[in-house]
Amino acid sequence: MQAIINAQMPYNICCVISNNPNAQGLDFAKKNGIDTCVVNHLDYPDRKSFDQALGNVVEKYEPDLIVLAGFMRILNSDTIARFSEKIINIHPSLLPAFTGLDTHARAIDAGVKIHGCTVHFVSPDLDSGPIVAQAALRIRSNDSPQTLADRILTLEHEILPKSITWILDGRCTMSSGRIIMDSTIFNDTFSFHG
């Protein structure tokens, strides 16, 4: 979330919402003049009522795009349908490999040579929505899950703001569950880290 704010894109970030009242990102957003809201999942008896309350808060802001950045809860299918084709997520692996948690340790344990991150639209199936962008790097022989996570985070901070820009500029759209990219996207550059 901080990387999105720091990117200073020409779009209005209408609100930063967290389910954790102690999330550091809330203070960072406030310091940058962005509305914040907490919908604490512990205040709700079940996932469905939490998702409904979260959706109601999001709906108030009428966002063009909802970005899950560090939001570690799985949204139910009703919430995903409510904001169909408006929710993106960044995942710390090259999907479809290593969905879910502990991606860096799993990549090292599997002996893969390339690892990275993926920006994708959110679908009801975990980490399986249409892919907007991916960035990759080589796994080093001395990488630990933490060193790999730190190196991947640099890539995440680069591709997430670019993906947001492409979507909000209309250069990346979705049709029938497939991503359509304007040819100008391929002129954008990324820095890759070995």
pLDDT tens digits, 58-82: 999 999 999 998 888 889 999 999 9
User: Does residue 127 share a domain with residue 189?
Assistant: yes
Predicted pLDDT at 142: 97
How do 16-18 and 36-38 pair as beta strands?
Answer: parallel
Q: How confident is the model at residue 183 (pLDDT cuts 50, 70, 90)?
A: confident
The answer to whether residue 135 is domain-embedded is: yes
Domain-located, residue 72: no
Looking at residue 71, its pLDDT comes to: 86
Q: Which two tokens stand for residue 14?
A: 């209408």
Which residue range is the domain that position 142 belongs to?
85-194
Residues 94 and 118 sit within 8 Å (Cβ to Cβ): yes
Residue 128 confidence (pLDDT): 93
Same domain, 89 and 177: yes
Mean pLDDT of 26-30: 95
Q: How far are the Cα atoms of 67, 98, 193 from residue 35, in angstroms, in the given order?
A: 15, 34, 34
> In sequence order, which residues have a C-beta less than 8 Å from that of residue 180 and are 6 or more positions away?
172, 173, 174
Please report whether residue 79 resides in a domain: no
Q: What angle do CA 123, 124, 130 make, to 5 degrees?
A: 20
Average pLDDT of the segment spanning 144-150:
98
Let me know whether 122 and 154 are in one domain. yes
DSSP class per residue in 100-120: SS-HHHHHHHHT-SEEEEEEE
Amino acid identity of 118? T
Q: What is the mean pLDDT of the chain?
A: 93
Tokens of 120: 């994708």
Q: How sure is the predictor about 193, in pLDDT bands with cuts at 50, 70 and 90?
A: low
Statement to judge: residues 189 and 108 lie in one domain: yes
Same domain membership, residue 90 and residue 41:
no
**Residues with a known catalytic role:** 91
Of 33, 66, 99, the last residue of a domain is 66
How many separate domains does the chain show?
2
Amino acid (one-letter) located at 58: V
